[in-house]
């Protein structure tokens, strides 16, 4: 489960629905602290989940600012997993990684609770659908095929004049800032040379291997566990340290140039 419900009772209510229908279901709380209504942040969380969960997993995700509106409830089958939630771009990573991805509109009310609230589809539509899938329901029975699911537009790194440029996508609870510069792209660009990483007036020489490569409070660039370039303050909060506005982080430019450290 991935939601923006925080510490309230909503995630627990959804679990109650799931266990009421499929008592043997095993539920993993990936996180319930996605920033409220931040669909992009939720999509990034789910992107990391693609790499570690087993085939057959049912991913239930509810970051749903459009609940009760014309936005569609969907289930996708991609990468041998299922994704249940709103059609608002949450599942962009799964859609883009599996060209054979199939998406269905959640239309068959047999799989819903009897009474469906306009404000809590997580409990009344998504949770019971996920429970039925975990219990062996046929994906094709959920509803008709959707051919145009919503896809988020992700900024892509660009290279110009011996400079690789990306941007910040998110921050974690420690204040570490994650960019869209993946390790493979950066290493191909560097070709064994040393990196100069620049962001918001900050310039860092080299890419570290771990947070402890600098003293407490020191600022470093490194590849995080998801394989993306991250800027961080060891035992500190980099966003606060630099005085960056949380609301303006997304899209903040990060650039890399390279030099031969032997000279």
The reported pLDDT for the residue numbered 247 is 84
Which pLDDT does position 259 carry in this prediction? 87
Q: Where in the chain is the domain with CATH 3.40.50.10790?
A: 2-141
Residues 151 and 157 sit within 8 Å (Cβ to Cβ): no
Count the neighbouring beta carbons within 10 Å of the beta carbon of residue 181: 26
Model pLDDT, residue 262: 60
The tokens for 230 are 């991250």
Which residue stretches of the chain have pLDDT < 70?
Answer: 261-263
Residue 246's pLDDT is what? 85
For residue 104, the model assigns a pLDDT of 99
Give how far Cα 85 sits from Cα of 40, 95, 220, Å: 14, 13, 37
158-259 under CATH 3.90.650.10, yes or no: no
Q: Which tokens belong to 87?
A: 């059609």
Sequence ranges of the chain with CATH classification 2.40.30.90: 158-259
The secondary element (H helix, E strand) that includes residue 199 is strand 194-199
Report whether CATH 3.40.50.12780 matches the domain 2-141: no
From first CA to last CA, the distance across the chain in angstroms is 51
pLDDT, tens only, 175-210: 999 999 999 999 999 999 999 999 999 999 999 999
Q: pTM value?
A: 0.87
**Can you read off the two tokens belonging to residue 145?**
């095929």
């Amino acid at each position: 489960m991935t939601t923006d419900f925080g510490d309230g009772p909503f995630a627990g209510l959804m679990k109650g629905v799931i266990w009421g229908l499929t008592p043997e279901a095993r539920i993993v709380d990936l996180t319930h602290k996605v920033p409220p209504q931040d669909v992009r942040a939720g999509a990034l969380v789910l992107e990391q989940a693609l790499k570690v969960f087993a085939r057959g997993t049912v991913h239930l995700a509810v970051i749903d600012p459009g609940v009760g509106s014309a936005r569609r409830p969907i289930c996708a089958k991609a990468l041998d997993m299922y994704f249940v939630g709103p059609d608002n771009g949450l599942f962009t990573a799964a859609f883009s990684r599996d060209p054979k991805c199939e998406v269905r509109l959640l239309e068959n009310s047999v799989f819903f609770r009897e009474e469906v609230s306009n404000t809590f589809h997580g409990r009344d539509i998504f949770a019971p659908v996920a429970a039925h899938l975990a219990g062996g329901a046929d994906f094709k029975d959920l509803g008709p095929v959707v051919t145009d699911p919503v896809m988020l537009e992700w900024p892509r790194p660009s290279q110009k004049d011996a400079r690789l440029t990306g941007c910040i996508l998110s921050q974690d609870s420690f204040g570490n800032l994650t960019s869209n510069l993946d390790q493979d792209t950066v290493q191909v660009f560097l070709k064994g040379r040393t990196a100069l990483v620049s962001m918001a007036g900050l310039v860092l020489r080299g890419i570290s291997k771990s947070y402890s490569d600098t003293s407490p409070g020191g600022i470093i660039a490194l590849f995080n566990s998801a394989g993306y370039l991250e800027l961080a303050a060891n035992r500190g909060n980099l966003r606060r340290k630099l005085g960056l506005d949380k609301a303006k982080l997304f899209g903040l430019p990060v650039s890399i140039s390279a030099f031969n450290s032997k000279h």
